[in-house]
Every structure is written in structure tokens, then in C-alpha cells.
Amino acid sequence: MSATGIPATVLAETWRAQRADGTAGVLAIGTTNPANYVRQDEFADWYFRVTNSQHLTELQAKTKRICEKSGIEKRYFHHIEEAIADHPEILDRAVPSLGSRLRLAADAVPELAAAAARKAIAEWGRPATDITHLVLSTSSGAGSPGADLRLAALLGLDPSVQRTTLYLHGCSAGAAALRVAKDVAENNCGARVLVACADVFLAAFRAPEDKAADLGALVARTLWGDGAVADDDTAAATSPRAAGVESPIFHMVSASQATVPGTERAVGVEHGESGLDVNMSAELPRVVRTGAARPRRRRRRRLERPLLGGAPRRPRDPGQLRGRSRVEAREAGVQPPRAP
């Protein structure tokens, strides 16, 4: 008998009935970018022109070098130049502009997220009203009701959909949202979880400053853009509801997070009076070089061997080290992992 007076067997049966009968699986994926873009090889000239900073010639040359090494071809933006014309305070750190940025993002974020979500829902093949949970992650907003409520309305989700919003997870926003979605899907039988991540560059856009403290923010402004991604997740692939209609693209067998000790200030994003401030420590390359890669690899292999019947064969240059990530890793002293 439990402390509540309900027999333990009844509680256990209720718990089992509520849980799904498998691991979480991704059913569909959708992505989107705004129509407007700037070619990366033209970004430095464009950026210093629209911010009236062409007198900072050395900083402009440094920005060009970062762009050349980034591996990025195009940068997509929702409404940068229009926003600058209507809100010139965005360019000046000394002038408060957070309110203007948040109001612009309040419309842009759910619109981008909805465009990506519609693609995922269409690929999924079921009505949007079948979605039971919504997880939205963004670093471009702050408020309640937030972009999650607006997104649910744009998609026509059922009023009973369970909404969760994650703010300011930065580059780990997608991973954080998927961890939440996995737990929700596996602990709620029949759940269909829509995950959406959307951001707009406007949150951190401002004129460059010719000082060392702004270098991390300059790197971020040279790499970031606007866009959204969405997917549908479930952990009930064997249920009657899924039979013959839903087929997972892949399963999320494990999702975890680890913090490298002493790195609390290596990378940070926070809202200030002049918008989103991005801080990158000079220690970041060392953190990347000496991070907890080996423990993660050991945990991954413990999962892979029973699932695959042995150690998987790995390419010498896996996808996660392509493009910009490859450049950043090489500059930080990280070599592509070798096949075991």
C-alpha cells in the first residue's frame, strides 16, 4: 500500500499503461529559411555598409577572413534591412533596443517555425490536430504567452495540445528540444510531439565594435542566420494509430547532456538593453580540445554494440566535422576522430 492509500500494484499498472511501448522515433523533418539572403563572400561588405561601419577597415578585413573559412555559401535573413530602416536604434549598443527586437521576433519566430512545421506535418501524413505535444526552442524571444501559442494557432493545433517553450539554449537548442521530446514521447502512450526550433539573427544584430571584447560577438554575427527546423516524434510505433501510416526515419535510443567542469563562462548568451549579447571566451579552443569526448564515446559504444551486434564502422571524416564545424574544429586543434 502506498502512502496515498492506493495499492502499489494499481499504481504500477497505471504507470505502465501511460508509458509508450518503444523508444522515441522521428517521423518527419521539415526545414525553412527566409527568401532573403546574402552570399557569404559578400557578407562583410554588406554588413559594414548597412551598419555604417566602413571606416573600420581592419575589422572588415578580419570579418572577410572569418567568412572565407566558414564553409557557408549563403546567409538567410528575415527582415534585417527593413528593421534597420524602421528601428535605427538596433545598430547602436548605447541605445536601448531590446523592446524593438523582441516585438519584431515575436512575429518572425512563429512564422518561420510554422513554415518548417507544415513541411514536417505534410511528410508525416496525418492531421495537425493529431499532435498532442509541442516543444518550441528559440533564443530570439522572451515572453508569455510566447511564440509557442502563436505557432499552435498558425498550425491549427488542438487547444488541448501540451506546450513547452525553451529559451536561450543557443546552439544546443535542437539537442535540448529533442531530449524533452524523447522523454515526453516515451512517457505518454500515443503522444505525437512536434518539435520546432526557430531563430532570427536580428536578436543579436548591431554595428561592430573595434575592441577585443566584441570579437566573440563578431564571430557569431559572421556565422548566424535566420531559419527554422521542425520534426514529429513518437514512441508508439507499434500502436494501432501508427500502423501502416507512420514509419520512423530513425529512433532516438539515447539523449544526454554533460557539462565540462569549469566551462560555465566559455560561451554565453543573454538579453541586455541592446539586444542579445553573445560572449565567447578565449578559453573556448582549449575547452574544445580537452572536452569530455572520450567518456561520451565510451557511453555511445556501450549502446551501439548490443544494438548493432558489434562495433560500427566509422568514416574518418564524419558528417559532424564538415563545413564550418570542420574549420572550427581544425582551428581549435581538434582532429577528425579515427575509426575504432
User: Which residue numbers are catalytic?
Assistant: 171
**How far is Cα 328 from Cα 306, in angstroms, rounded to an integer?**
33
Instruction: Find out whether the peptide bond into 145 is cis, omega within 30 degrees of 0.
Output: yes
Per DSSP, the residues of 207-256 read ---SSGGGHHHHHHHHH---EEEEEEEES-TTSTTTTTT---SEEE----
Rounded CA separation 169/134 (Å): 17
> CA-CA distances (angstroms) from residue 119 to 34, 113, 237, 310, 333?
14, 10, 21, 36, 38
Q: 112, 137 in Cβ contact below 8 A? A: no
Contact call for residues 120 and 230 (beta carbons, < 8 A)? yes
Amino acid making up residue 194: L
Cβ contact 318:340 at 8 Å? no
The β-bridge partners of 38 are 75
